[in-house]
Chain A
Amino acid sequence: MVTLIRGIGSRVVYYIDYVGAIGKLFFNSLYWTFVPPLKRERILVQARNIGLESLPIVSLVAFFIGVILALQTAYQMQKLSSEIYIANIVALSIVRELGPVITSLIVAGRCGAAVTAELGTMKVTEQIDALETLATNPVKYLVVPRFLAFTFMLPVLTIYANLIGILGGYLICVYRLGIRSSMYVQLTFDALSIKDLATGLIKTLVFGMIIAMVGCLEGMRTEGGAEGVGKATTLSVVTSFILILAADCVFTAIFYFIFP
């Protein structure tokens, strides 16, 4: 009994500790972002890794999502003989929900894991301690470029994902379901509003921060050699996924109940 309560208590303390560590790292990076000098090249390298090099896989997945969404919607809509609404449903679900979330999950799996592994290896081989002895702040040198790159590249990637996802739905609807091309485009743009686009993009800013913070934190807390790096990477991806979906839930509720 005592062990049980002790176990629960230590878990609770661990999670509170985790939230505190993420918060501390977040404010630290925010602070160091505005402390000059800002190394432009280090940010650009990360931006290329996260944005440009993720684009093919993000596009591919977004395209599949668009195709799947159109087909699955068509399955139900053909029973009601209202295929016209497929355009609305595809556009709204991709722009409001699937585009941002799928992009974030891919980037978390692809780049968040890489960041954790990179920083974890540096921590294990004591390179981070070496940085500190050189009077270089590791947050400034390692975390800030990744933080900025994740935060600002994710919305850009999401815009691409939205466009390509809608294109996937378009191809299915126009070439398989016989909806006229101009009509599909018209319906898509009729269904969307600026608010839908904005809510999707605002979410991704926060998702980007989550991925950067979790990735860097897990990396910098890594202990215990190569095995520790592996564990940290797994933990980083899982935590990012859970936090992204939790944040998405909160955002959707906010946009649904408070700003309808």
Chain B
Amino acid sequence: MTKKSRLELAVGIFIIIGLGVLVSFVFFISDFQLIKAGYKFDVVFGFANGIKIGAPARLAGVDVGEVKDIVIFQDSVTGKPKARIRVWVQKDTRVPADSQIWINTLGLLGEKYLEMMPGKNYELTVKENDTLQGKDPIPMEEITEETRKLVLKIEETVDNLNEVLGQVKAGQGNVGKLVYDEIVYKNIMELTEDLKQHPWKLFWRTKEKPEKK
């Protein structure tokens, strides 16, 4: 082997191995799901909660596919804008048509994914290009609004309670008098003391009473 061809061989091997590594990198990184067989169907949401293309789709907690496309469109009936999410799933996954589908949050960084909770009717499964209705997540604003209403109500109740308690504390009203007025207590004391000394009073009946009745 001449010196020149050995040089060429060394550099050639170096470059070819490098390119081989690059090709395998690219191959592993790019989703070879393009080669894998599967089918696509649509899920319509009123609120997509920021899901992105490529987000995983999970059936019963197992990754079976991913979000391929997200289109916003005008609902012909209500005129509201809605999101149509195109989902790709592996060929052998059977998604019952009555499955509940919603957008869920995952992990520390809050990635969104499509959660599919399988329904019961396995005779009617989703086929290519079917459209399902997704369950909308409750938007954060709605939760805050509801909470605000609830807090206002609680505040009102507490205000009323405070008023009543204030009256009780001041010794006003029936309950207040019961708590703070010692007359009732004294009466009971006297009664029990009297009964202790003359227990026969419990059983003794005045002669007048039945006559009165």
Contacts and interface: CB of A to CB of B under 8 A. Distances in A.
Partners in one complex: yes
Interface of A: 41, 44-45, 47-48, 51-52, 55, 80, 82, 85, 156-157, 159-160, 162-163, 189, 192-194, 197, 201
Contacts of A55: 14
Nearest to A41: B4
Contacts of B29: 189, 192-194, 197
Contacts of B15: 51, 156
B26 interface: yes
19 contacts: A44-B8, A45-B7, A47-B14, A48-B14, A51-B11, A51-B15, A52-B10, A55-B14, A82-B108, A156-B18, A156-B19, A160-B18, A162-B25, A189-B28, A192-B29, A193-B29, A194-B29, A197-B22, A201-B22
Contacts of B18: 156-157, 159-160
B68 to A, nearest CB: 16
Given A44-B8, A80-B108, A82-B108, A194 B26 contact: yes
A52 B11 contact: yes
Nearest to B12: A44
Contacts of A194: 26, 29-30
B164 to A, nearest CB: 49
Interface string B1-39: 000100110110011001101100110111000000000
A162 B30 CA distance: 17
A47 B11 contact: yes
Interface in B50-68: none
B21 A41 contact: no
A165 to B, nearest CB: 12
A45 B8 CA distance: 9
A48 B21 contact: no
A32 B7 CA distance: 24
B10 A163 contact: no
Nearest to B3: A41
Contacts of A159: 18-19, 21-22, 25
Interface of chain A, helix or strand or loop or mixed?
A: helix
B14 A156 contact: yes
B151 to A, nearest CB: 33
Contact of A44 (B11, B21, B25, B107): B11
Contacts, number: 51
A44 B7 contact: yes
B21 A197 contact: no
A48 B10 contact: yes
Nearest to B18: A156
A194 B22 CA distance: 11
A7 to B, nearest CB: 48
Contacts of A160: 18, 21
Contacts of B26: 194, 197
B7 A51 contact: no
A80 B107 CA distance: 12
Contacts of B108: 80, 82, 85
Nearest to A152: B15
Contacts of B19: 156, 159
Contacts of A47: 11, 14
B160 to A, nearest CB: 46
A194 B4 CA distance: 37
B18 to A, nearest CB: 4
A197 B25 contact: yes
A48 B22 contact: no
Nearest to A88: B109
Contacts of B107: 82
A146 to B, nearest CB: 14
Nearest to B8: A44
- Can you list the 8 inter-chain pairs with the closest CB atoms, starting with the nearest? A156-B18, A189-B28, A47-B11, A159-B18, A52-B14, A192-B29, A159-B22, A159-B21
A85 B106 CA distance: 13
A54 to B, nearest CB: 10
Given A80-B108, A163-B21, A192-B29, 9 more contacts: A44-B8, A82-B107, A157-B18, A159-B18, A160-B18, A189-B28, A192-B25, A194-B30, A197-B26
